[in-house]
């Protein structure tokens, strides 16, 4: 007591100091996430072996053959996991297998795999190498397998689980392999692994830093039992640990055959060259872009618990071969809401956007992002602290697949080479039903429907977006087989893949449509649904170069009725269309409601109907530039209404025959252009009238306004302003407390003066 650090240091001799340092080094209280690992997304330096090999005469044909063999092995193991995996995510392609260099940089992934899953795996892998490999109580041996899911050590969210294994050759680690699945259930406070209701990281369920669960290629049953005992679906946990293990073992077997045939030198050189070639090419492509700054932002309209406006700020600067992404000025983190993300997850998702929408021709590894620097505010929504919950990080992360696409389109349009068509925004919300309960087979489960994979594609500069094509995070994930789902779960889909008429981003080229999902429950012991999306007040996916955004979406319910009784007694009252069902309200006694897309877990009774739409992609270009024949085709395919064709696209045609009147259309569009010129105001005049110095006082607003160094949080008298460098997390009140306070105020007002 009473000694300062300096006094203590002054009192220690050199030997004592050395002893103290050794003691502290050997007695870490807790090996938390290491910022030195977690904040560095760059590829590491070459090892001596790699350097010597890459400076030697390499046989490009041999390297190409090795690369082909690795890709074949990665493709084979992807198929293994997809065929054998138990998780719905595995069956529908939310998975990947991957191979890394000896120092842990991602070199190659399965061609159909989800880049983000392996893109974050190098973080836990580097943690294993740094902390466990040399720890006498852990170590690193041939046949070891490490399991991992905590995003604070490198993951998108902790519903994804990975198996990571070192590959030994002649007693040394020559490379690493991994296999990752979106598993779903993980013992969180809500079933299904993505709990919107989580208010602390302790509500998120399993929280696994990388630890060895496999020894001598065998799963340790005691540890597996601990994991099974911690989740609602022990069968899922059991089977998929083994599936991922055997995918890794097959990869190791294939790598050994590559070494036997081509030598370890060609393997090491190939793995490293995959990375360096991408890095070199990315720097060349950045140099092709014009120097300058592009600013963009997006607004998230809720936390999944309450409506608030949350800013995602993104400024991209290019100079020569350098690119800086600056997300400072975004919202502070929410200390008791689940939508925060770690910086490492954010970077991986942005890198994936580069590989999916900007340079899809590049080999899929994280070197595509090594030339890019990211600036962020610590304790913000996009760079959240160790303690902030982040199990629904998908809310900002899904925007990270589309916002960079919009920004980079403005850099790439002038480039002399196109690597793909300029792309508007893919739809970017995780709209699907998450479920939990007891199945018709008496099994407890919790997971999510693969409709999350049915996002509508964004419009391109040369064509319309594709309908319900893929999730924004991967291009080969599918929406699943409904019959298979109904065999396993007490969930019936009353309407399937019914495209969402008039709900799309319009433009010269329109986005791809989403589809309606009308589901109910039957033969369950206990059952419930949740949804985890925003975008009910403010659109989620913005258009490009005059294109419009996706619309907003609404969760609809028909409750206090058993629709199976209705279908028996009065089938005509049930319309197989969401809009008709909701507007006609034809089922007697039913309670109809329309809500925000974020819903925490809610028990349902048999036959109650829950309805959502998968979202549509955004549009590209001016609606008046849309080929009128394409508008007629949209009418023929029932994708738009006559009102949209006439009022928005200004196309003139015969209603019955749909025969286009070319001249009248030309005149109508010319008239609309004149109308625009009349109603538009000069910019400076408009700004003087319209712009406010601060966010509207009554709007719950989080993030910067015009100055990214001043960050607002809240509304009215409770609003605080933080300066850059001093951003703090925000704690939200319990929505039920807010509601109770509102009702008490109403009650007090109603009873005022009654004594």
Partner 1 sequence: MKIPMTEYLAIDLDREMWECRCCGHVIQSARENYKKGLLVYDRNPREIHKPLLDTTKYQRSFAPDPAWCALLEYYCPSCGTLVETEYTVPGHPPLHDMEFDIDALRAQWKDRPAPASVEIPDDDERIRKLRETHAH
**Nearest approach, Cβ of residue 657 and partner 1 (Å):** 25
**Nearest approach, Cβ of residue 703 and partner 1 (Å):** 10
Three-class secondary structure of residue 252 per DSSP: helix
Footprint of partner 1 on 506-525 (CB under 8 A): 506, 508
Which residue from 543, 598, 607, 714 is in contact with partner 1, where contact means CB under 8 A?
A: 543
**Nearest approach, Cβ of residue 510 and partner 1 (Å):** 12
Show the 3-state SS of 364-379: CCHHHHCCEEEECCCC
Asked whether position 690 contacts partner 1 by CB under 8 A, the answer is yes
Q: Which is nearer to partner 1, 252 or 556 (CB)?
A: 556
Helix axes 264-288, 60-84, angle to 10 degrees: 90
- Count how many residues are written for the chain: 755
Q: Is the distance from CB of 134 to CB of 160 less than 8 angstroms?
A: no
Q: Which is nearer to partner 1, 494 or 623 (CB)?
A: 623
Among 115, 129, 102, residue whose Cα is nearest residue 180:
115
Asked whether position 595 contacts partner 1 by CB under 8 A, the answer is yes
- Residues 6 or more apart whose CB falls under 8 angstroms from that of 755 comprise none
741: how many CB neighbours lie within 10 A of its CB?
A: 11
Q: Which is nearer to partner 1, 15 or 684 (CB)?
A: 684
Q: Which is nearer to partner 1, 169 or 283 (CB)?
A: 283
299: how many CB neighbours lie within 10 A of its CB?
A: 20
Footprint of partner 1 on 477-506 (CB under 8 A): 502-503, 506
Footprint of partner 1 on 52-81 (CB under 8 A): none
Which residue from 674, 720, 735, 745 is in contact with partner 1, where contact means CB under 8 A?
A: 674
Footprint of partner 1 on 460-479 (CB under 8 A): 460-463
Q: Which is nearer to partner 1, 228 or 307 (CB)?
A: 307
Asked whether position 655 contacts partner 1 by CB under 8 A, the answer is no
Q: Which is nearer to partner 1, 121 or 294 (CB)?
A: 294
Asked whether position 746 contacts partner 1 by CB under 8 A, the answer is no
Asked whether position 572 contacts partner 1 by CB under 8 A, the answer is no
Q: Which is nearer to partner 1, 88 or 539 (CB)?
A: 539
Using CA atoms, how far residue 686 sits from 450, 544, 556, 691, in Å, is 45, 22, 38, 8
Burial 606-618 (b: 16+ CB within 10 A, else e): bbbbbbbbbbbbb
Using CA atoms, how far residue 292 sits from 265, 357, 360, 493, in Å, is 42, 21, 24, 50
Asked whether position 684 contacts partner 1 by CB under 8 A, the answer is yes
**Nearest approach, Cβ of residue 297 and partner 1 (Å):** 7
Q: Is the distance from CB of 489 to CB of 604 less than 8 angstroms?
A: no
Asked whether position 642 contacts partner 1 by CB under 8 A, the answer is no
DSSP assignments along 502-565, one per residue: T-S--SSBPPPP-EEEEEEE-S-SSEEEEEE---SSS-SS--BTTPPPP----EEEEESS-HHH
Footprint of partner 1 on 198-237 (CB under 8 A): none
**Nearest approach, Cβ of residue 582 and partner 1 (Å):** 5
Asked whether position 588 contacts partner 1 by CB under 8 A, the answer is no
Footprint of partner 1 on 83-122 (CB under 8 A): none
Residue 332 phi, psi (nearest 5): -65, 165
Asked whether position 536 contacts partner 1 by CB under 8 A, the answer is yes
CA distance 436 to 445: 6
Footprint of partner 1 on 345-364 (CB under 8 A): 361
Helix (H) or strand (E) holding 147: strand 145-148
Asked whether position 596 contacts partner 1 by CB under 8 A, the answer is yes
**Nearest approach, Cβ of residue 555 and partner 1 (Å):** 8
**Nearest approach, Cβ of residue 97 and partner 1 (Å):** 27
**Nearest approach, Cβ of residue 106 and partner 1 (Å):** 25
Binding window for partner 1 (CB under 8 A); candidates: 47-55, 149-157, 369-377, 620-628: 620-628
Structure tokens at 236: 């899922």
Footprint of partner 1 on 418-447 (CB under 8 A): 418-421
**Nearest approach, Cβ of residue 698 and partner 1 (Å):** 8
Q: Which is nearer to partner 1, 126 or 410 (CB)?
A: 410
Structure tokens at 600: 């925490």
Burial class (CB in 10 A: 0-12, 13-18, 19+), 645: buried
Asked whether position 623 contacts partner 1 by CB under 8 A, the answer is yes
Asked whether position 532 contacts partner 1 by CB under 8 A, the answer is no
Q: Which is nearer to partner 1, 132 or 553 (CB)?
A: 553
Binding window for partner 1 (CB under 8 A); candidates: 168-176, 259-267, 414-422, 514-522: 414-422
Q: Which is nearer to partner 1, 676 or 739 (CB)?
A: 676
* Sheet (strand 211-215) strand order: 106-109, 95-100, 172-182, 160-169, 145-148, 211-215, 218-219
Q: Which is nearer to partner 1, 214 or 640 (CB)?
A: 640
Q: Is the distance from CB of 388 to CB of 729 less than 8 angstroms?
A: yes
Asked whether position 448 contacts partner 1 by CB under 8 A, the answer is no
Q: Is the distance from CB of 163 to CB of 125 less than 8 angstroms?
A: no
Asked whether position 545 contacts partner 1 by CB under 8 A, the answer is yes
What letter would DSSP give residue 450? Answer: G
Burial class (CB in 10 A: 0-12, 13-18, 19+), 622: middle
Asked whether position 579 contacts partner 1 by CB under 8 A, the answer is yes
Helices (H), 29-111: 35-38, 48-54, 60-84, 88-91
Asked whether position 624 contacts partner 1 by CB under 8 A, the answer is yes
**Nearest approach, Cβ of residue 10 and partner 1 (Å):** 54
Residue 163 pairs with which residues in a beta bridge? 147, 179
Asked whether position 23 contacts partner 1 by CB under 8 A, the answer is no
Binding window for partner 1 (CB under 8 A); candidates: 21-29, 137-145, 175-183, 698-706: 698-706
What letter would DSSP give residue 243? Answer: H
Q: Which is nearer to partner 1, 526 or 686 (CB)?
A: 686
Burial 154-169 (b: 16+ CB within 10 A, else e): bbbbbbbbbbbbbbbb
Asked whether position 285 contacts partner 1 by CB under 8 A, the answer is no
Alpha-carbon radius of gyration of the chain: 27
Q: What phi-psi label fits residue 205: left (phi over 0), alpha (psi between -120 and 50 degrees) or beta? A: left
Angle at 86 between CA 80 and CA 88, to 5 degrees: 105
Footprint of partner 1 on 286-325 (CB under 8 A): 290-297, 299, 301, 307, 309, 319
**Nearest approach, Cβ of residue 533 and partner 1 (Å):** 13
Q: Which is nearer to partner 1, 432 or 540 (CB)?
A: 540
Q: Which is nearer to partner 1, 145 or 457 (CB)?
A: 457
CA distance 481 to 319: 48
Asked whether position 35 contacts partner 1 by CB under 8 A, the answer is no
What letter would DSSP give residue 499? Answer: E
Which residue from 146, 542, 601, 610 is in contact with partner 1, where contact means CB under 8 A?
A: 542
CA distance 722 to 560: 47
Asked whether position 716 contacts partner 1 by CB under 8 A, the answer is no
Asked whether position 621 contacts partner 1 by CB under 8 A, the answer is yes
Q: Which is nearer to partner 1, 237 or 432 (CB)?
A: 432
**Nearest approach, Cβ of residue 618 and partner 1 (Å):** 9
Q: Which is nearer to partner 1, 295 or 441 (CB)?
A: 295
CA distance 730 to 332: 7
Judged by CB under 8 A, the number of residues near partner 1 is 91
CA distance 667 to 473: 42
Residue 747 phi, psi (nearest 5): -65, -45
Q: Which is nearer to partner 1, 186 or 296 (CB)?
A: 296
């Amino acid at each position: 007591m009473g000694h300062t650090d300096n006094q203590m240091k002054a009192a220690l001799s050199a030997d004592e100091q050395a002893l103290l340092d050794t003691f502290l080094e050997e007695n870490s209280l807790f090996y938390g996430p290491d910022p030195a690992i977690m904040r560095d997304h760059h590829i590491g330096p070459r090892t001596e072996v790699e350097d010597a090999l890459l400076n030697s005469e390499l046989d490009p044909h041999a390297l190409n053959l090795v690369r082909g063999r690795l890709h074949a092995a990665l493709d084979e193991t992807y198929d293994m996991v997809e065929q054998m995996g138990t998780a719905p995510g595995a069956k529908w392609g939310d998975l990947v297998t991957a191979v890394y260099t000896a120092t842990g940089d991602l070199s190659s992934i399965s061609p159909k795999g989800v880049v983000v899953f392996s893109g974050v795996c190098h973080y836990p892998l580097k943690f294993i190498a740094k902390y466990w490999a040399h720890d006498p109580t852990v170590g690193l041996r041939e046949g070891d397998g490490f399991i991992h899911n905590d995003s604070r050590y490198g993951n998108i969210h902790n519903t994804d689980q990975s198996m990571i294994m070192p590959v030994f050759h002649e007693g040394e680690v020559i490379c690493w392999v991994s296999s990752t699945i979106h598993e779903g259930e993980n013992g969180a406070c809500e079933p299904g692994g993505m709990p919107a209701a989580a208010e602390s990281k302790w509500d998120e369920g399993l929280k696994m830093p990388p630890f060895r669960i496999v020894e001598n290629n065998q799963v340790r049953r005691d540890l597996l039992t601990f994991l099974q005992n911690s989740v609602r679906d022990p069968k899922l946990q059991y089977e998929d640990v083994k599936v991922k293990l055997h995918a890794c073992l097959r990869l190791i077997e294939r790598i050994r055959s590559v070494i036997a045939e081509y030598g370890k030198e060609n393997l090491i050189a190939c793995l490293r060259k995959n990375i360096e070639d991408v890095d070199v090419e990315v720097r060349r492509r950045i140099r092709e872009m014009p120097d300058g700054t592009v600013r963009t932002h997006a607004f998230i309209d809720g936390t999944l618990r309450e409506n608030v406006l949350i800013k995602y700020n993104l400024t991209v600067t290019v100079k020569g071969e350098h690119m800086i992404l600056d997300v400072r000025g975004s919202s502070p983190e929410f200390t008791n809401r689940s939508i925060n993300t770690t910086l490492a997850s954010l970077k991986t998702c942005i890198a994936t956007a580069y590989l999916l929408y900007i340079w899809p021709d590049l080999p899929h590894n994280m070197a595509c992002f090594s030339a890019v620097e990211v600036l962020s505010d610590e304790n913000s929504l996009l760079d959240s602290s160790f303690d902030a919950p982040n199990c629904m990080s998908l809310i900002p992360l899904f925007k990270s697949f589309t916002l960079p696409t919009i920004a980079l389109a403005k850099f790439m349009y002038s480039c002399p080479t196109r690597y793909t068509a300029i792309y508007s925004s893919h739809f970017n919300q995780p709209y699907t039903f998450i479920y939990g309960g007891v199945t018709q087979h008496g099994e407890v489960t919790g997971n999510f429907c693969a409709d999350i994979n049915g996002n509508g594609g964004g419009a391109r500069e040369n064509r319309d977006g594709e309908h319900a094509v893929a999730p924004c995070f991967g291009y080969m994930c599918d929406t699943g087989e409904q019959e298979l789902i109904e065999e396993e779960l007490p969930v019936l889909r009353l309407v399937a893949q019914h495209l969402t008429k008039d709900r799309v981003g319009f433009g010269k080229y329109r986005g791809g449509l989403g589809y309606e999902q009308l589901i109910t429950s039957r033969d369950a012991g206990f059952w419930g649904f949740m949804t985890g999306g925003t975008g009910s007040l403010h659109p989620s996916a913005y258009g490009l170069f005059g294109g419009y955004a996706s619309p907003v979406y609404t969760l609809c319910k028909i409750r206090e009725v058993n629709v199976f009784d209705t279908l028996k007694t009065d089938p005509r009252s049930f319309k197989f269309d969401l809009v008709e069902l909701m507007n006609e309200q034809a089922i007697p006694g039913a309670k109809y409601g329309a809500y925000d897309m974020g819903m925490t877990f809610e028990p349902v009774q048999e036959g109650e109907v829950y309805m959502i739409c998968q979202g549509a992609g955004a549009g590209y270009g001016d609606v008046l530039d849309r080929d009128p024949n394409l508008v007629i085709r949209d009418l023929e395919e029932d994708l738009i209404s006559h009102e949209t064709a006439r009022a928005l696209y200004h196309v003139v045609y015969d209603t019955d025959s749909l025969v286009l009147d070319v001249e009248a259309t030309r005149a109508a569009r010319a008239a609309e252009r004149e109308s625009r010129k009349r109603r538009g105001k000069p910019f400076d005049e408009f700004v003087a009238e319209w712009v406010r110095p601060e966010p509207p006082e009554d709007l719950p607003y989080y993030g910067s306004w015009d100055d990214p160094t001043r960050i607002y949080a809240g509304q009215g008298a409770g609003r605080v302003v933080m300066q850059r460098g001093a951003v703090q997390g925000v704690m939200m009140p319990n929505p039920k407390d807010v509601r109770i306070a509102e009702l008490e105020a109403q009650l007090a007002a109603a009873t005022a003066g009654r004594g």
